[in-house]
Chain A
Amino acid sequence: MWWLILGIAIGVIGWWLVAWTRAKKIAVKWYEWLLAVIAVGFALLALQNYYAFLREMEPHAANVMLTLLGVPALVFAAIAIGLAWWQNNKAAKKPAKS
């Protein structure tokens, strides 16, 4: 049940994010979306393994898997957000053609 709720939440947040970037006229390249999806994938794997290992009564293994999968999630998310921010910032600074 929790996974269903999480799935719906991810779907809603994803839809809102797409709509928000368009409303704010933030240009997001396809590969930045891909990086974001990979980040979400790693985050979900980190969560699943963390809680499942806790259920297996293996807290050490839970922490290891959270690190092994959580760090890539953060790295991919940071690259996706950073790239989008950098490109939009660059575009904003560019003088408009007369």
Chain B
Amino acid sequence: MASNLTRREFLKDLGLLGAGITLAPAAVSGANIFDWDTEKTPVLNRPSWVNTSNVPTMEIDWDKMERWREWRTTRGSFAEYVGKERDERLTKLQTENLDRWVKQNKPGYTLKDRALSAACGQGSGAQSFLPPKDATTPGQLGVAPWTGSPEDAAVMVTAALRHLGAGTVGFVELDPRTTEKLVYAEDPDKKVISFEDVAQPSEDDKKRVIPKKARWVIVYTVPMSQETMKAAPTVLCQLTTQLTYTLNRSIQLRLQYFLAGIGYLGLGEASTNALGISPAFGTMAGLGEMSRLNRLITPEWGPITRVFKMITDLPLAPTKPINAGIMQFCKVCKKCAEFCPSKALSFDTEPTWQPRGPWNNAGHKAFYEDSTKCRAYWRQVGTNCGLCFTACPFGTKNQAFFHAFRNALVSATPVFDSALRAVDDWINPGPANPELGDPFKDPEKWWKMTNLPIYGINTSTGLSEI
């Protein structure tokens, strides 16, 4: 067929064929075009479109910020904010709705959903502020505590945490004028958290004491299942949150054992959401950016992840905040606010310094939410909702090339943010006219997915290509 080709033409075509064979796989495997950057973040490789910065994309006025009392959120003070009568009415409504829906076999609220949700809360390790007393210390082995540079320590802790089940890991150094203000003044159980000039941490009925030598915070994410989250706001959706908290109790305990084993303190969260403000620490550690959700959105899993922290006296090289264009995109997108059934999220185009209520802590320029509306909806459906997380365009599984293209574009320029939001509406439209408690995606289809990854999480996310 090609017998009339000259030798020169043949060799030229052979070269073209070689180039084609070499380049075509790279071209079709589009996700690899935006490869991982190993230089900007030595601890954990992040996508190349994630830029590090000396300041976060959310403005902070450290002078106005004060250490927060966790129990002032609606988790601890809902009844005070809405009144006892309304609180009791919502409790009654929650019981009635959950009871009716389980009997009606409403998708996402059925017996099997309830059973699996309850199961996900079981089997966790003990959760404690203080390190375990029975850990084998270096002294017991007749050796000195581990020593190394803060950079080496950061790499070591990251490797250990990845193996224990964490997604991404970052580090914050505590400074009394700034980042120390992100540690709670009072924990959810109203115990005071105090920094004192002592050698060892302690805890009694009223106080948890952090030695001043413990200056570093290990901040890490534990991803949730995006597919399970898509069943929001049902009981089925809630179980991925529940499972992540359960998993973290084991991760925290094991991290405390590891730190004790190398001769250092690991001061954990005494209970769920204790010790410090997770989204704030996540922002300062560069695990993600603050968003319209007034929560963290990560480059790897969007908002569909939980953030945890541990204070230690092991010197660790801090990681920088990031700018991946996420906060800027949130200004235009507003999809979470539109999908929020209680209209608790801000529709403002710009963040503000003014909190929406006493449940917000001041001192940062944010899209403050009306937590009482949010929490009231939780009570109506009997779950922790999650529709805003589900609607977020960044809460995707990131296998399709489109996600890499969108993320790179969002990071590079805000010009296409509106168009990208429009495309997201086409590919992730959600239910048209949902009634109270109706899911974003059909939970009954979830129960037929026998090939979801373990824990519903793609654990290879965040890894560099080998």
Contacts and interface: CB of A to CB of B under 8 A. Distances in A.
A10 B396 contact: no
A52 B14 CA distance: 32
Interface string A56-98: 1110110011001000000000000000000000000000000
Contacts of B415: none
A49 B4 contact: no
A3 to B, nearest CB: 5
Interface stretch (B22-30, B90-98, B123-131, B137-145): B22-30
Interface string B10-21: 000110111011
A11 B27 CA distance: 12
Interface residues of B, number: 35
Contact of A10 (B3, B24, B400): B24
A66 B21 CA distance: 24
B205 to A, nearest CB: 49
Contacts of A68: 423, 426
B13 A15 contact: yes
7 contacts: A8-B24, A10-B24, A41-B27, A52-B400, A56-B396, A60-B427, A65-B402
B2 A23 contact: yes
Contacts of A4: 25
Nearest to A10: B24
Nearest to B29: A3
B426 A18 contact: no
A52 B2 contact: no
A58 B17 CA distance: 36
B460 interface: no
Q: In terms of DSSP, what is the predominant structure of the interface of chain A? A: helix
Contacts of B30: 44-45, 48
Interface residues of A, number: 33
Interface string A8-38: 1011101110111011000000000000000
Interface of B: 1-5, 9, 13-14, 16-18, 20-21, 23-31, 227, 396-397, 399-402, 423, 426-429, 449
Given A48-B28, A52-B400, A22 B426 contact: no
Nearest to B424: A61
Contacts of A8: 21, 24
A55 B400 CA distance: 9
A6 B13 CA distance: 19
A8 to B, nearest CB: 5
A53 B2 CA distance: 40
Given A14-B17, A15-B13, A56-B396, A7 B28 contact: yes
A11 to B, nearest CB: 3
B24 A7 contact: yes
B2 A7 contact: no
A44 B28 contact: yes
B227 A11 contact: no
Given A15-B13, A20-B1, A22-B9, A3 B429 contact: no
